[in-house]
Amino acid sequence: MNIVHKFTSVAYPQGNGLCEVTNRDIVSRFKKRLNEKRIGWVDELSNVLWAYRTTFKKSTGETPFSLVYGSEAMIPAEILVPTHRVANFDETANNDALCENLNFVDERRLMAAIKEANNKQQIAKYYNKKVRALAFDVGEWVLHNNEASRAKTVGKLGPNWEGS
Protein backbone atom coordinates (compact mmCIF):
# COMPACT_ATOMS: atom_id res chain seq x y z
CA MET A 1 0.00 0.00 0.00
CA ASN A 2 2.91 2.37 -0.47
CA ILE A 3 1.51 5.37 -2.28
CA VAL A 4 4.30 7.78 -3.05
CA HIS A 5 3.10 11.33 -2.63
CA LYS A 6 5.03 14.29 -1.34
CA PHE A 7 2.27 15.46 1.02
CA THR A 8 1.40 12.22 2.73
CA SER A 9 3.15 10.08 5.26
CA VAL A 10 1.90 6.96 3.51
CA ALA A 11 5.01 7.07 1.31
CA TYR A 12 7.20 6.29 4.32
CA PRO A 13 5.07 4.24 6.71
CA GLN A 14 8.02 3.16 8.84
CA GLY A 15 8.55 6.78 9.86
CA ASN A 16 5.26 7.33 11.64
CA GLY A 17 4.18 3.99 13.05
CA LEU A 18 1.85 3.23 10.16
CA CYS A 19 3.46 -0.19 9.70
CA GLU A 20 2.67 -1.10 13.30
CA VAL A 21 -0.93 0.06 12.96
CA THR A 22 -1.35 -1.82 9.69
CA ASN A 23 0.19 -4.98 11.11
CA ARG A 24 -2.03 -4.77 14.21
CA ASP A 25 -5.11 -4.37 11.99
CA ILE A 26 -4.16 -7.36 9.83
CA VAL A 27 -3.39 -9.55 12.87
CA SER A 28 -6.73 -8.60 14.41
CA ARG A 29 -8.47 -9.63 11.17
CA PHE A 30 -6.62 -12.95 11.26
CA LYS A 31 -7.74 -13.56 14.84
CA LYS A 32 -11.37 -13.07 13.81
CA ARG A 33 -11.10 -15.54 10.92
CA LEU A 34 -9.01 -18.32 12.48
CA ASN A 35 -10.16 -21.03 14.83
CA GLU A 36 -8.98 -21.39 18.43
CA LYS A 37 -5.87 -23.32 17.38
CA ARG A 38 -4.79 -20.34 15.25
CA ILE A 39 -3.73 -22.53 12.34
CA GLY A 40 -4.43 -22.15 8.65
CA TRP A 41 -3.49 -18.49 8.41
CA VAL A 42 -1.87 -19.07 5.00
CA ASP A 43 -5.25 -20.08 3.57
CA GLU A 44 -6.84 -16.90 4.95
CA LEU A 45 -4.05 -14.52 3.89
CA SER A 46 -5.58 -13.43 0.58
CA ASN A 47 -9.02 -12.90 2.18
CA VAL A 48 -7.60 -10.83 5.03
CA LEU A 49 -5.48 -8.68 2.71
CA TRP A 50 -8.45 -8.15 0.37
CA ALA A 51 -10.58 -7.08 3.32
CA TYR A 52 -7.89 -4.67 4.50
CA ARG A 53 -7.36 -3.16 1.05
CA THR A 54 -11.07 -2.60 0.42
CA THR A 55 -12.04 -1.16 3.82
CA PHE A 56 -12.43 2.61 4.16
CA LYS A 57 -9.82 4.22 6.39
CA LYS A 58 -11.11 7.01 8.59
CA SER A 59 -7.89 9.02 8.32
CA THR A 60 -8.11 9.38 4.53
CA GLY A 61 -11.76 8.69 3.79
CA GLU A 62 -10.62 6.28 1.08
CA THR A 63 -9.73 2.63 0.69
CA PRO A 64 -6.10 1.70 0.01
CA PHE A 65 -7.32 0.04 -3.21
CA SER A 66 -8.92 3.26 -4.45
CA LEU A 67 -5.79 5.30 -3.70
CA VAL A 68 -3.72 2.93 -5.83
CA TYR A 69 -6.09 2.20 -8.72
CA GLY A 70 -8.33 5.26 -8.70
CA SER A 71 -11.63 3.38 -8.34
CA GLU A 72 -13.37 1.10 -5.88
CA ALA A 73 -13.04 -2.68 -6.09
CA MET A 74 -15.94 -4.97 -6.85
CA ILE A 75 -16.28 -7.55 -4.11
CA PRO A 76 -16.49 -11.19 -5.23
CA ALA A 77 -19.99 -11.64 -3.79
CA GLU A 78 -21.25 -8.89 -6.08
CA ILE A 79 -20.49 -11.05 -9.12
CA LEU A 80 -22.68 -13.91 -7.88
CA VAL A 81 -25.60 -11.76 -6.71
CA PRO A 82 -27.24 -9.73 -9.47
CA THR A 83 -26.81 -6.09 -8.49
CA HIS A 84 -27.52 -2.95 -10.48
CA ARG A 85 -23.83 -2.55 -11.27
CA VAL A 86 -23.54 -6.13 -12.60
CA ALA A 87 -26.87 -6.14 -14.45
CA ASN A 88 -26.11 -2.89 -16.32
CA PHE A 89 -22.45 -3.61 -17.09
CA ASP A 90 -21.14 -2.12 -20.31
CA GLU A 91 -17.50 -2.98 -20.99
CA THR A 92 -16.77 0.06 -23.17
CA ALA A 93 -18.31 2.50 -20.72
CA ASN A 94 -16.52 0.73 -17.87
CA ASN A 95 -13.13 1.03 -19.58
CA ASP A 96 -13.74 4.72 -20.27
CA ALA A 97 -14.72 5.30 -16.64
CA LEU A 98 -11.59 3.45 -15.41
CA CYS A 99 -9.36 5.61 -17.63
CA GLU A 100 -11.09 8.74 -16.37
CA ASN A 101 -10.64 7.62 -12.76
CA LEU A 102 -6.92 7.06 -13.39
CA ASN A 103 -6.66 10.63 -14.66
CA PHE A 104 -7.96 11.88 -11.32
CA VAL A 105 -6.07 9.48 -9.03
CA ASP A 106 -3.45 12.13 -8.14
CA GLU A 107 -6.18 14.54 -7.05
CA ARG A 108 -7.81 11.76 -5.04
CA ARG A 109 -4.51 11.05 -3.29
CA LEU A 110 -3.99 14.76 -2.63
CA MET A 111 -7.46 15.08 -1.09
CA ALA A 112 -6.75 12.01 1.07
CA ALA A 113 -3.45 13.57 2.19
CA ILE A 114 -5.19 16.84 3.04
CA LYS A 115 -7.85 15.01 5.04
CA GLU A 116 -5.17 13.00 6.85
CA ALA A 117 -3.24 16.18 7.71
CA ASN A 118 -6.45 17.81 8.97
CA ASN A 119 -7.18 14.80 11.19
CA LYS A 120 -3.64 14.95 12.59
CA GLN A 121 -4.06 18.65 13.37
CA GLN A 122 -7.34 18.00 15.18
CA ILE A 123 -5.79 15.19 17.21
CA ALA A 124 -2.77 17.35 18.07
CA LYS A 125 -5.06 20.22 19.08
CA TYR A 126 -7.03 17.89 21.37
CA TYR A 127 -3.93 16.51 23.09
CA ASN A 128 -2.12 19.85 23.25
CA LYS A 129 -5.02 21.36 25.21
CA LYS A 130 -3.88 19.33 28.20
CA VAL A 131 -0.19 20.25 27.96
CA ARG A 132 1.15 22.61 30.62
CA ALA A 133 3.79 25.03 29.44
CA LEU A 134 6.89 25.04 31.63
CA ALA A 135 9.53 27.74 31.74
CA PHE A 136 12.91 27.16 33.34
CA ASP A 137 15.06 29.83 34.91
CA VAL A 138 18.84 29.93 34.62
CA GLY A 139 20.40 27.82 37.33
CA GLU A 140 17.45 25.48 37.92
CA TRP A 141 18.07 21.76 37.99
CA VAL A 142 16.62 19.86 35.03
CA LEU A 143 16.81 16.23 33.95
CA HIS A 144 19.86 15.71 31.76
CA ASN A 145 19.21 14.87 28.09
CA ASN A 146 22.18 15.01 25.73
CA GLU A 147 20.15 15.46 22.55
CA ALA A 148 18.39 18.55 23.87
CA SER A 149 21.16 20.13 25.92
CA ARG A 150 24.17 19.03 23.88
CA ALA A 151 26.03 18.41 27.13
CA LYS A 152 29.21 16.33 27.06
CA THR A 153 28.66 12.62 27.73
CA VAL A 154 30.58 11.42 30.78
CA GLY A 155 29.23 7.87 30.88
CA LYS A 156 26.64 6.12 32.96
CA LEU A 157 28.33 7.14 36.22
CA GLY A 158 28.04 10.85 35.40
CA PRO A 159 25.34 13.09 36.86
CA ASN A 160 21.75 12.84 35.61
CA TRP A 161 21.19 16.55 36.14
CA GLU A 162 22.50 19.79 34.70
CA GLY A 163 22.52 23.17 36.31
CA SER A 164 24.09 24.97 39.22
Which residues neighbour 69 within 8 Å (Cβ) at sequence distance 6 or greater?
Answer: 101, 102, 105
Per-residue burial over 107-143, b if 16 or more Cβ lie within 10 Å, else e, is: ebbeebbebbeeeeeeeeeeeeeeeeeeeeeeeeeee
Residue 162: phi and psi, rounded to 5, are: -120, 155
Confidence (pLDDT) at 125:
92
The pLDDT assigned to 134 comes to 81
Do the domain assignments include residue 152? no
- Rounded-to-integer distance, Cα 22 and Cα 62, Å: 15
| pLDDT at residue 122 in the model | 92
Residue 65, Cβ neighbours under 10 Å: how many?
17
Q: Residue 155: phi, psi to the nearest 5?
A: 95, 180
Alpha-carbon distance of 89 to 161, in angstroms, equals 72
- The count of domains in the chain is 1
Separation of alpha carbons 22 and 13, rounded Å: 9
What pLDDT sits at residue 112? 92
- Residue 18 domain-assigned (yes or no): yes
At residue 87, the pLDDT reads: 81
Q: Does residue 116 form part of some domain? A: yes
Closest Cα partner for 42 from 32, 51, 53, 34? 34
In a domain, 60, yes or no: yes
Regions of the chain short of the pLDDT cut 50: 1-9
Domain that holds residue 27: 9-128
Residue 24 placed within a domain: yes
For residue 146, being part of any structural domain is answered with no
Domain assignment of residue 121, yes or no: yes
| Per-residue pLDDT at 135 | 84
**Residue 75 counted as domain residue:** yes
pLDDT at residue 4 in the model:
43
Contact 140, 163 (CB under 8 A): yes
